[in-house]
Structure 1
Amino acid sequence: MSEENKHHATAAAILPLVGGARNVTSVAHCMTRLRLGLHDRSLVQDERIKALPAVMGVVEDDTYQIVLGPGTVARVTPEFEALVDAEKSAAAPEYGPEPVTAGELAAQGAALRAERKARNATPFKLFLRRIANIFVPLIPALIGCGIIAGLNGLLVNLHWLPGLTPALTAMASGFMALIAVFVGYHTAKEFGGTPVLGGAVASVIVYAGVADVEAFGRHLSPGQGGVLGALGAAWLGVYVEKQCRRRVPEAVDVLVTPTVTVLVAGLATLFGLMFLAGEVSTWIGDAADWLLSHGGAGAGFLLGGLFLPLVMLGLHQALIPIHTTLIEGAGFTVLLPILAMAGAGQVGAAIAIYLRLPRNTSIRTTIKSALWPGFLGVGEPLIYGVSLPLGRPFVTACAGGAFGGAFVGLFNQLGTDVGSTAIGPSGWALFPLLDGNHGLGRTVAVYAAGLLVGYAAGFLATYYFGFTRTMLTELNSAPAPAPQERPASVERAAEKAGTPGA
C-alpha cells in the first residue's frame, strides 16, 4: 500500500470510531496528535481507536486527541478533513453514528478520565491551552529554521561554503524576524477576531520605522517586546474589533472597524505595550539565567521531574512563549534541553518495565513499538500506553527525568549553557538544534551525557521501586492484562503513590 493510501486508510478507520462526520465539530493537529472537537464524547469507541495500527494512544482533554506521531499526523489530518467534509455534504437524513456499547469502556477507566477532564477544565488551564493553540501551528517553521540555523553555524565555524552561509542565514532568520506577525495572526484567530487584523497590529512591532517613535523617554527598537508584545497587541485588537462590531452601523462597518482596530491597538502597542513587553522579555531572560547560574542542579531536578506531568495534562505547550522569548533574546532556550530529560527518564523506565514483565506479552509489545519514538522525543505513546496506566512506573520515570535535568542544570551552573535554537523535538531529535556558549562539541557532549543519566536513573528507579510484589505477580500472570485495564493491585499502588489515573 502506498504512503498516501495508508494515511487515507487510517483516516477512514478513525472517522466512524469517533461517531462519524456529524459528531466532529473541529479538526486540527499539533506535532504528534490529531485534535478533534466532538459534539458527543459518548459516541467515541476508545478501545477500537487504540487498537488501530497507526494509533499510539488517545488523550481526552478540551479536545479529543489521537496520538499518531510526528509526520504521520500531518498527513492523516488533511485526509481526515476531506472525509469529514465529503461525508457531511453527502449525508442522508437518516445518517447517524452508531452508539458505543457500555462494555467498550471499563467503568473505572471512564470515571478516571471524567475526573481528570473535570480537574483540567479550570479557567486558568483553559487559558493556557488557548495560548498554546496560538503557537502550535508555528512549530514546524521553528524546527525547520532552527535546524538550518544550526547547520549554518556549523559551516561558519568550519569556514566551509562561505558563499552559501549568507543565504542560509537569511532563511534561518527571516521567519524569526517576522514571528510577531504570525503570532498576531493566530492570536486574533484564537480569540475570535479577524486574523489578518491581528497580524497587521502586531506587524508594527517589527517595522524598522518604530526606531523613530519615542515612548517612556526612550526610542523604541524594532522587534522590542517580541512575541509577548504581539500577543498583547493582537488581543487588544480583538477587543477593539468586537466593540466596533457591536456599535458601528453595518453600512460603514467594512471601512470603520478595520481602521479603528488598527489605529487604537497600534497606538497602544507603540506607546505602551512594546515597552512593557520588552521589559518582561528582558526579565524572563534574566530570570532563566539567574535560575540556572545560582541553582542549576536543583532547578534542573525540579524542571526535569515535573515535565512529564505537564505533558500528561497537555500543558507543556504553554511553555512555548517562554522558549520563544528566550530564543529571541539569546539565540537559544536553555530550558528545553533540561525539560527533554523527562523523556529520557520515560525511556529508561520503559526498558525496566520490559525486563520486569517477561511474561506480559501485551505490555512488552506496546513498549517495543513505542520505544523508538520515545528515543526521538515522542513520549505520549509510552506515557499513555505504559507508565501512566501502571501508576508507580510513571513516578519513577519522573525521577529519571529529574536526575537527567539536574545533570544538565549543573553544567549550566558551572558556566556551560546547553540550549536549543528552536522548540519542538527532544530526545535524539534535539541534537541538530543544540547550541551553547562554549562550542557545539561541549554542548552536544553535555546533552548526550544528560540523556544517559536520565536513561539510567529512570531504569534503576523503575526496576527497583516501580513495582510491588503483588503487581509483579498479577502483571506477569496469564492472560496478561493490558495497561489500560489497571488491575486492582496496580490501582491500589497508584493510589498509594498519588499518581493520577490514565
Structure 2
Amino acid sequence: MSTEPTEKNRATAAALLPLVGGPDNIRSVAHCMTRLRVGLRDRSLVDDAALRAVPGVLGVVEDADTYQVVLGPGAVARVTPEFEALVEEGRTRVAEPVTADGLAERGAALKEARKARNATPFKLFLRRIANVFVPLIPALIGCGVIAGLNGLLTNLGWAPAVVPALAAIASGFMSLIAVFVGFNTAKEFGGTPVLGGAVAAVIVFPGVAKIDAFGEHLSPGQGGVLGALAAALLAVRVERWCRRRVPETLDVLVTPTLTVLVTGLVTLYGLMFLAGEAAAAIGAFANWLLAAGGALAGLVLGGLFLPLVMLGLHQALIPIHTTLIEQSGYTVLLPILAMAGAGQVGAALAVYCRLPRNGSVRATIKSALPAGFLGVGEPLIYGVSLPLGRPFVTACVGGAAGGAFVGLCNQLGVAFGSKAIGPSGWALFPLLDGTAGMGVTVAVYGGGLLVGYLAGFAATWFFGFTKRMLADLDTDAGAGAPPAPAGPASAKEPVPA
C-alpha cells in the first residue's frame, strides 16, 4: 500500500505547526467536519499570511476559543492526527523554553480579553453542547446512507435476504444514541464519561415500560437525546457534589453509586417525561412551521444559515436535527438550510464571471467549487464571498430563495428531510426521505438547489459589486490576493492565492 497519502498529510501538518507558533504554543488540538481547531497560548506567534499560502489550506478563522485552519472534509481528519503527533514529538524532544510561563500568562490574558469582547455565556454553552454531538456525525452519516440503501432495496424488492441485516446495521446506532450522548456530555462537562453513559442508558432500557411517571407508563427511548443530555448534565453535578463531600476511602464505592442512583431516579420520574414533552414540541413546531409558514419560513431559514456557518454556531442546531431524526426518521430542516450552500455556489460563479482578468480569485473559486457543490461552504465563504463583502450578502439572498422554494413545496404537501446530519449540497441526495416518494423528493430538493444557484448568481451579478470594486478587482492579480473592499460584511480574511 502506498505511503504517499500519509506522507502528504504529515507534510501538511509539518508545514502548519511552525506557523501557529510551534509545539509549545499549542494548548489543544481538535477538528470538526472541515477545520483543524487549535487552542493557542499566544495568538501573536501565528503567521496568518503564511498559513493561507500552505497548499491545501482553504482559509483561516478565529472564534473566542480556537484558531481554525480550514482544510476541507476528509483532509482535516487525516491531517489532524499527524499534527497532534508532531506536537507531542516536539514537546518531548525540545525542553520547554524559559519564557513558557510568560507566554502562557500572556496567552491566557489575550484569551480572556477576547472572550470578554466577543463571547457570551449562552454562545459558549451552545458550543459545548455542539461538542457533545459533533463526534457522533460520522456514525449518523454512515447509518443514514445504509438506511437509504436499505429503503431502496426494499422498494425495488431486491436482495430480500440482505434487507434485515442492513436494517439492523442502520438502526443499531440510533437505538443507542442516547448512551453515546450521555457519555460525551459527561466527558465535555468534566464528569466521568461512563457514568454519563450509564444514566443515559436508563432511557433506552426496555424495562422502563413497567414504570409509571406522571400518571402514565414510560416508553423506552422517551425523551431521546434531550433526556440523555439532561441526565448526564445532572450526573456531572451529582458526581462533583459527592467528590467534595465523600471521604477518599469511600469515594470509589459511594460516588459512582450515588451518582447513578440519584440521577437514575430523577431521570425516570422527571427528566424522561419532561424531555419527551420537549422533543414532541420541537417536532410539532418544525412541522407546523413549514406547513403554515412555507415559503416565508424557508426564506428566513435559508437566508440566515450562512451567517451561522460563518460564526460556527450552526453546530448548535445538531441536537434539534437529532431529535427530529429520532422522532420521524429525518430532519425536515436540513434540506432548507442546505440551500444556503447553493446560494454561495451561485454567488461564487457570478464572481468568477464578473472578474475575468483576476486570475487569483478565479483560481480560488475553481479549487473551492467542488467542495461547494457537495455542501462544504467554508472554502467559498472565507476564500471568496466574505473577503469581498457584498457577495456574501447576495449569497444569502440565493440561500433565501432556495429555502423559500423548498418551504413552499413542503407547505403544498411534499414533506421530506434528511436521514442524517453533516452532508449537504449534492451529498444530501442519498440521505433524502419523505412522504411523497423518492422521485418527487429528489426533484423538489434538486429544484431548490437550482433556484439557489440561479438566485445567488443573479443577485451577485447585479448587486454584488460597485463600480469601484470592479475597477479595483477586475485586474490581472497574478498569484496575489485582491484587496478586500469595505462592504456590509467587511473582510476578515484576504482571498488566498
Aligned partners of 2:192 and 2:114: how far apart in 1?
34
Counterpart AA for 2:331: T
Per the alignment, residue 69 of structure 1 pairs with 72
Q: Counterparts of 1:96 and 1:80 in 2: how far apart (Å)?
A: 23
Q: Partners of 1:225 and 1:484 in 2: how far apart? A: 52
> Across the two proteins, how many residue pairs are aligned to each other?
482
How far did residue 92 of structure 1 move? 2.6
- Provide closer, same or farther for how the CA distance between residues 357 and 20 of structure 1 changes in structure 2, counting only shifts above 3 A: same
Deviations, residues 80-111 of structure 1 (Å, cap 9, x unaligned)? 111111111111355889xxxxxxxxxxxxxx
Alignment of structure 1 residues 162-311 onto 2, 5 Å: 162-311=160-309
Any idea what SS the aligned residue of 1:204 has? helix
- Indicate the SS of the match to 2:27: strand
- In the alignment, which residue of structure 2 is the partner of 1:58? 60
Return the offset for 1:481: 9.2
With over 3 angstroms needed to count, the CA separation of the structure-2 counterparts of 1:150 and 1:465, relative to structure 1, is same
CA offsets 1:164-201 (integer angstroms, 9 cap, x no match): 00000000000000000000011011111111111111
Does 2:397 align with 1:394? no
Find the partner of 1:435 among 430, 433, 436: 433
List gaps (5 residues or longer) in structure 2: 101-110
Choose which of 399, 413, 416 in structure 1 pairs with 2:414.
Answer: 416
Q: Structure 1's 93 and 265: CA in aligned 2 closer, same or farther, altered over 3 A?
A: closer
Which stretches in structure 1 are left out of the alignment for 5+ residues?
98-112
Match of 1:48 in 2: 50
Q: Residue 294 of structure 2: SS of its match in structure 1?
A: helix
Match among 17, 20, 39 for residue 18 of structure 1: 20
The letter of the residue matching 2:148 is G
Once the two structures are superposed, residues 144-170 of structure 1 have per-residue CA deviations (whole angstroms, 9 ceiling, x without a partner) of 000000000000011100000000000
Closer/same/farther in 2, CA of residues 115 and 424 from structure 1, 3 Å limit: farther
Paired position in structure 1 for 2:7: 5
User: Contact 1:475–1:481 at 8 Å: present in 2 too?
Assistant: no
Q: Deviations over 1:211-255 (max 9, x none)?
A: 111100011000000000000000000000111111111111111
Is the Cα–Cα contact under 8 Å of residues 50 and 58 in structure 1 kept in the other structure?
yes
1:418: how far off? Answer: 2.2
Equivalent pair of 2:359/2:479 in contact (CA under 8 Å):
no
CA distance in 2, matches of 1:314, 1:89: 33
Whole-angstrom CA distance in 2 between matches of 1:95 and 1:371: 46
Per the alignment, residue 126 of structure 1 pairs with: 124
Q: Residue 43 of structure 1: CA displacement?
A: 1.0
Q: Give a deviation string over 1:424-443, Cα, whole Å, max 9, x none.
A: 01000101101110111111
Moved more, 117-126 or 239-248: 117-126
Contact 2:38 2:68 in 1 (8 A): yes
Q: Determine the C-alpha separation between the residues in 1 that align with 2:489 and 2:389.
A: 9
SS in 2 for 1:181: helix
| Structure 1 residue 116: Cα displacement | 9.0
Q: Offset at 1:17?
A: 0.9
2:387/2:490 contact within 8 Å kept: no
Per the alignment, residue 109 of structure 1 pairs with: none
SS in 1 for 2:68: strand
Structure 2 CA distance for partners of 1:222 and 1:484, relative to 1, 3 Å:
farther
Q: Which moved more, 1:298-307 or 1:69-78?
A: 69-78
> In the TM superposition, what is the alpha-carbon distance from 1:70 to its structure 2 partner?
1.0
**Shift, 1:120, TM fit:** 4.0
Contact 2:24-2:96 within 8 A present in 1 as well: no
Is the 8 Å Cα contact of residues 408 and 450 (structure 1) preserved in structure 2? yes
- Runs of 4+ aligned structure 1 residues displaced above 2 Å come to 92-97, 113-120, 477-485, 497-502
Contact 1:345–1:457 (CA under 8 A) maintained in structure 2: yes
Amino acid at match of 1:255: L
Deviations 1:364-399 (A, max 9, x none): 111111011000111000000110011100000000
Using the size of structure 1 for normalisation, the TM-score is 0.93
Tell me which residue corresponds to 2:473.
475
* SS of alignment partner, residue 204 of structure 2: coil
Task: State the alpha-carbon separation in 2 of the partners of residues 448 and 262 from structure 1.
Answer: 48
Contact 1:389 1:483 in 2 (8 A): no
**Equivalent pair of 1:332/1:419 in contact (CA under 8 Å):** yes
Give 3-state SS (helix, strand or coil) of 2:127's partner.
helix
What is the CA-CA distance between 1:65 and the residue it aligns to? 1.1
Q: Determine helix, strand or coil for the equivalent of 1:28.
A: strand
Q: For residue 104 of structure 2, what is the aligned residue in structure 1?
A: none
